[in-house]
Amino acid sequence: MAKKPEAKQYLIKGHPLECPVCKNDTFWMRETLMNTKGLTFFKLEWANQQAQNYVCNNCGYVHWFLQP
Ligand SMILES: [Zn+2]
């Protein structure tokens, strides 16, 4: 079984990331490639780019960030 990455605090554009659901401030991060066929329907030019997922270490809420 894959080990969960270590949870830590993150800054987004200088702002501390906080879970809107449970107010927790530690997250573990993973990267996802946004290459789903559904996105091309919207003709989005960034459809194949990398997204960062920050997953709340407490409640599991997933925050999605697209880096241009
Ligand atoms: Zn949470």
Element (H, E) at 8: none
Confirm whether pTM is higher than 0.85: no
> Which pLDDT belongs to residue 51?
86
Distance 67 CA to ligand 1 centre (A): 22
Q: Give residue-wise pLDDT tens across range 12-58.
A: 999 999 999 999 999 999 988 776 555 555 565 555 678 899 999 99
User: In this model, does residue 7 exceed pLDDT 90?
Assistant: yes
Ligand 1: centre distance to CA 5 (Å): 16
Distance (angstroms) between ligand 1 centre and the Cα of 21 equals 5
Q: What is the pLDDT of residue 9?
A: 97
